[in-house]
Amino acid sequence: MKTRKLGQNGPTVSAIGFGAMSITGFFGPTDDKTSQACMSAAVDHGIDFFDTADIYGSGSSETQIGQFLRETGANIKIATKAGIQTQPVRQFNNSKDYLTASLDASFECLGVDYVDLFYIHRREADRPIEEVVETFQSLIKQGRIGGYGLSEVSPTTLRRAHAVHPCMAVQNEYSLWTRMPDLGMIRTCAELGVAFVPFSPLARGMLTDSPAKRVNMVEPDLRINNPRFMEPNLSDNLAMIAPFQTWAADNGMTTSAAALAWVLSRGEHLIPIPATRTSDHLMQWIGASEIILSVDQLAEIDTILPAGWAYGDRYSVSQYVGPETYC
């Protein structure tokens, strides 16, 4: 596994991270044994950057990672997120008190007293980002976090935050079928020395040899009501992906490895975090950091899956609450 820098002054981590949302059963049923085996396989193959959040399985993702650390003593870098308050009603809360209490709760689940990266999961629109960064500064000075991150924000928000204290990472959705970050965020991160962490780099299970099927989707899977996974969009998207699957096979790659290699090719500051819940799924893309796509191969991919090819928006109207838009 190759490595990359987590921000200008952050630690060196595996070029591909482990997205720990799926081990909660969010994208299909799983169990503790399967989840623990998946994390073990990730570490065995060089992944040392785990990404989680306090709301993933209402803390169960962090608890699973905590159990894994206790049982294996693995040396990994941990990123977690907070800022989405679910009780008494769902809302975004970036206040100092709430973020500090959330971090304490995450420490309890993880069994640690320090995380390398702490994100706001969503920005609270009415709270100045400068105030939020001051909270992060305090946590950094206390030695509780190594750095801070922002999730689903705009380049302008990043610039304002970074001016107060250097940001370590920005996490946005990015893949062959979701490319808004190409219109400013990836470039801004490169300019400022901030890592860009793409989540869902495999299009929520679509850019694989066996794309996701609606029949296997059960609550709370957000894909059930996602426009790209509803007909007729789903069939149209599958038809678009089929030639890419063939291209990947013809070039000696799995579909997911080819899709992940494309993400990695977009800049040395990109550290994608595919979410997986089984070792078998992980093995389909684990070698992607070793794949160097040629200029000709990149051009062929662009012909097969040009920017904007996906049918349907990445979120429904009800799901599109919180992410900042800027184009």
Q: What pLDDT digit, counting tens, does each position of 79-117 carry? A: 999 999 988 888 999 999 999 999 999 999 999 999 999
Count the neighbouring beta carbons within 10 Å of the beta carbon of residue 188: 18
Confidence at residue 300, expressed as pLDDT on a 0 to 100 scale = 98
* In 15-143, beta strands by DSSP E: 18-19, 49-51, 77-82, 84-85, 91-92, 117-120
Structure tokens at 285: 């893309």
**Burial (Cβ within 10 Å: 0-12, 13-18, ≥19) of residue 307:** exposed
| pLDDT tens per residue, range 189-221 | 999 999 999 999 999 999 999 998 787 777 777
Q: Give the pLDDT of residue 318.
A: 76
Catalytic residue among 56, 148, 174, 315: 56
**Known active-site residue 56:** yes
The tokens 């809360």 sit on which residue? 93
Radius of gyration of the chain (CA): 19
Q: Check if the beta carbon of residue 283 is closer than 8 Å to that of residue 41.
A: yes
Write out pLDDT tens, residues 30-63: 788 999 999 999 999 999 999 999 999 888 999 9
Question: What is the amino acid identity at position 271?
Answer: I
Q: Which residues of 118-151 are buried (b: 16+ CB within 10 A; e: fewer)?
A: bbbbbbbeebebeebbebbeebbeeebbbbbbbb
List C-alpha distances in Å: 171 to 19, 25, 65, 66: 12, 22, 20, 22
Instruction: Delimit the domains of the chain by residue range.
Output: 3-206+256-291
Q: Is the pLDDT of residue 4 over 90?
A: yes
Spatial distance between the Cα atoms of 29 and 142, rounded to a whole number of angstroms: 39
pLDDT digits (tens, 9 = 90+) for 139-184: 999 999 999 999 999 999 999 999 999 999 999 999 999 999 999 9
CA distance 34 to 267: 33
What pTM was estimated for this model as a whole? 0.95
Cα separation, 234 vs 311, whole angstroms = 8
Q: Which has more confidence, 19 or 58?
A: 19
Phi, psi of 323 (to 5 degrees): -60, 135
Q: Determine the pLDDT at residue 321.
A: 79
Residue 57 pLDDT: 86
Per-residue pLDDT of 259-311, as tens digits, reads 999 999 999 999 999 999 899 999 999 999 999 999 999 999 999 999 999 99
- Structure confidence at residue 315 (pLDDT): 83
What CATH number was assigned to the domain covering residues 3-206+256-291? Answer: 3.20.20.100
